Amino acid sequence: MKYTSTISDKKWLTLGLLSDLGWIAYFVGFALYLINGADGLGTVILSVTFLLNCLAVLAVMIGIIGIISQRIRKLSRTISKRDLLFGFGFVIYGALAGFLLTGVSAVIDVLLQYETGMCLASQIMMAVGALVCFAFGLPIMRSFKPEK
């Protein structure tokens, strides 16, 4: 079954660019967190949330690769359900998982007074980036309707 997007080009471009800014901020925050030592890796709870967050980052990356492959194959507005889930699904749900996991680990860090200021700032950047990616990417994904 094929799915076709029903939003205008202007709205698609605006939402797409804002969502792109979100995942870029998410990845930059993740890189900064790794560069600054990821001090939270010392506790078991934070190690688990960090590893799960790595999976969320991987899911977003897979989704981005899926969307890029759709563009290469010239499947911009009409795609299969598999392509829809592989591209937008991975990006959207990976970003949601990243937001939730980063938020949990940041709250734990604050409560335990475990992180340095830079690590906490990078976690906030990750959470905001993931939320922006999710918030602006979801309307694009939901705009795809099955063809009759």
The pLDDT value recorded for residue 76 is 74
Going edge to edge, which strands form the sheet with 78-80? 78-80, 2-5, 144-146
Q: Mind listing the pLDDT tens digit for each residue in 111-134?
A: 876 666 777 888 889 999 999 999
The predicted structure's pLDDT at residue 112: 74
* Cα–Cα distance for residue pair 118/78, rounded to 1 Å: 43
Q: How high is the pLDDT of residue 147?
A: 86
- Cα–Cα distance between 111 and 46 in angstroms, integer? 12
H or E element, residue 2: strand 2-5
Confidence category of residue 34, pLDDT binned at 50, 70, 90: confident
Predicted confidence band of residue 39 (pLDDT cuts 50, 70, 90): low
Q: What is the pLDDT of residue 115?
A: 60
Residue-wise pLDDT for 59-102, tens only, equals: 999 999 999 998 888 877 889 889 989 999 999 999 999 999 98
pLDDT at site 41: 53
Give the model's pLDDT for residue 130.
Answer: 96
pLDDT at residue 24 greater than cutoff 80: yes
pLDDT at 44 > cutoff 60: no
**80, β-bridge pairs:** 2
Residue 43 has pLDDT above 60, yes or no: no
pLDDT reported for residue 19: 96
